[in-house]
Amino acid sequence: MAESKMDIPRTAQHFLECGIEDCERNCEFYCNPCHQRLCKQCSDEHLKSPENKNHEVVLYQQRKRQLPVEKCKIHPNKDIDMLCEECQVPVCSKCATQKEHQGHVFTDLETIYAEKYADFQKETSKIQDYFLPTSQDLQKEIKKESSEIKHVMDNIRTSMKTEGETLKSLVDTVISENMKQLDQIEHSLLEDLKTQDKTMDDYITYLNNLAKELHRCLSSTETQKLMSEKKPKIRSIPETTKPVTPGFTAGQYNKSDVTKLLGKINVPNTKAEKREIRPIESVYNTAMKPTHKQMKEDRKKSDKKQTMSLSASVTKVREFNVPGVDEVYHVSLDQPDRLWISDSDGNLVQTDLQGNVIQKIKTSEGPGYHSVTQDRGLIFTDKDNNVINRITQDNNITEFIKTGDWSPVSIHSSHINGDLLVGMGKLTKAKGLFKMKKNKEESKITRYNKTGKVLQNIERDNKGQRLYSGPIYITENINGDICTSDIIKEVVVVVNKSGQHRFSYTGQKSGFNPLGICTDVLGHILVCDDVSDTVHLLDQDGQFLSLLLTKQQGVEDPVSVCVDDENNLYVGQQYTNTLTVYKYLK
CATH ID of 290-585, from 1.10.287.110, 3.30.420.40, 2.120.10.30, 3.40.30.10: 2.120.10.30
Contacts of 64 (CB under 8 A, 6+ apart): 32, 58, 110, 111, 114
Instruction: Give 572-575's long-range contacts (Cβ < 8 A, gap of 24+).
Output: 572/327, 572/328, 572/329, 572/330, 572/331, 572/341, 572/516, 573/327, 573/328, 574/327, 574/329, 574/432, 574/530, 575/327
* In the chain, where the domains are located: 2-62, 82-106, 143-247, 290-585
36: burial class by Cβ within 10 Å (0-12, 13-18, 19+)?
Answer: buried
pLDDT in tens, the chain (586 residues): 333 333 333 333 345 788 888 888 888 899 988 889 999 899 989 999 889 888 988 888 778 888 888 999 999 999 988 989 889 999 998 899 998 998 899 988 888 888 888 888 788 878 887 888 888 888 888 888 888 888 888 888 888 898 889 889 888 998 999 999 999 999 999 999 999 999 999 999 999 998 998 888 888 777 776 777 778 888 899 999 998 888 888 887 788 888 887 877 777 777 777 878 877 766 654 334 444 444 445 444 544 444 567 777 889 999 999 999 999 999 999 877 899 999 988 899 999 988 899 989 888 777 888 999 988 889 999 988 899 999 876 778 899 999 988 999 999 999 888 899 999 986 554 433 444 444 445 899 999 998 899 989 999 888 888 999 999 999 999 989 999 999 999 999 999 988 889 999 999 877 899 999 999 998 999 999 989 999 999 998 898 988 999 988 889 999 999 999 889 999 999 999 999 999 998 8
Q: How much is the pLDDT for 436?
A: 43
Instruction: With beta carbons less than 8 A apart as the criterion, state whether 372 and 334 touch.
Output: yes
- Domain 2-62, second-level architecture: 2-Layer Sandwich (3.30)
Alpha-carbon span 370 to 331, nearest angstrom? 8
Could you write out the DSSP letters of every residue in 198-216?
HHHHHHHHHHHHHHHHHHH
Alpha-carbon span 421 to 414, nearest angstrom? 7
Q: Are strands 427-430 and 433-436 parallel, antiparallel or unpaired?
A: antiparallel
E strand or H helix that includes residue 260: helix 255-262
Instruction: Measure the CA angle with vertex 244, ends 241 and 245; round to 5°.
Output: 145
Query: What sign for the dihedral angle of Cα 211, 214, 216, 219?
Result: negative
Alpha-carbon span 118 to 111, nearest angstrom? 11
Contacts of 400 (CB under 8 A, 6+ apart): 379, 387, 388, 389, 390, 452
E strand or H helix that includes residue 84: strand 80-84
Alpha-carbon span 240 to 219, nearest angstrom? 35
Q: How much is the pLDDT for 287?
A: 34
